Amino acid sequence: MKSTKPKAPVMIPVENIVPFDGHPYKVLDNDSMNELTESVQDNGIMEPLTVRPLENTDNYEIISGHRRYHAAKKAGLNEVPAFIRAVSRDEAAIMLVDSNLHRERILPSEKAFAYKLKMDALTHQGASRQLGEKWSVEQVAESASESARQVHRYIRLTNLIPELLDMMDENKIAFSVGVELSFLDDERQYDVLNACELNDNTPSYAQAVRMHKAYTAGELDRDGIDAIMCEEKANQREKVTIPLDRLKGKIPGSYTVQQQQDYIVKAVDHYHRYLQCQREAR
């Protein structure tokens, strides 16, 4: 159906507005939300929401402005300004995603579900059904300035259990690791989560790839996950750093880095043997 944007927003009771069903963006009660709420209390809603009427009801579904709507409720407002757009759910989904694609900060989980929401909406639409999912992904990629492969990788993240998605959003596991783990079923993903908690670590990319391959081959069980997660990773080994000024005059300046390392190891080995001889002489 065709949509027309009104010249001016209209005031709509807060109680008649509902969030977009399944919208991908998190509305958090954090410091940023507190600041927005204070601004709304002092100045009202400066930028109107965009909503669509829900058929056979007096309610409106938010297309853009979920954070402003939440702040308005916290601030105790009874009504908010909004532009009304008479569009279908699929059209609204595309508008919702496009209005947020270039935000400064988008969490991996938000981007994952946003891309999937838009892909599904494009696939559902008339002519798009004949063009298929591949065309839909290409359209999402073009609007998001991403490659189609990267969009596919983000959409894969929607298969992760919520706990692993949260770990991605908190930068506890890498994007590439999340993609590999998304190929495991929920049971095995929870086994990975338990192993993370038990060993106080997270899987490396190489470990996630091995789990993915083993799962695909039907060879991954809880014991296999535990065995992989117990392995020491290079980035988790403790390192000893020696300031260069402490070595000045003790190692030839012409030595390469590798020669310096060999020299230090030999010196430590020599000192170890010396101490051993001292203990044996007592």
Task: Give the count of beta carbons closer than 10 Å to the beta carbon of residue 243.
Answer: 7
Q: What's the pLDDT tens digit per position in 271-282?
A: 777 777 766 665
DSSP 256: -
Share of the chain residues as helix, strand and coil, in percent rounded to the nearest 5: 60, 10, 35
Which residues are registered as beta bridge partners of 13? 79
pTM over 0.95: no
pLDDT digits (tens, 9 = 90+) for 184-210: 999 999 999 999 998 889 999 999 999
Q: How confident is the model at residue 235 (pLDDT cuts 50, 70, 90)?
A: low
Whole-angstrom distance, CA of residue 24 vs CA of residue 143: 17
Per-position DSSP letters for 89-108, written without gaps between them: HHHHHHHHHHTTTT-S---H
The stretch 54-80 carries a mean pLDDT of 94
Mean pLDDT across the stretch 63-84? 94
- pLDDT for position 130: 60
* Least confident interval from 81-95, 191-205, 218-232, 267-281: 267-281
Identify the CATH class of 1-87.
alpha beta
Question: Measured between alpha carbons, how far is residue 264 from residues 96, 131, 241, 243 in Å?
Answer: 60, 65, 12, 13
Mean pLDDT of the chain: 87
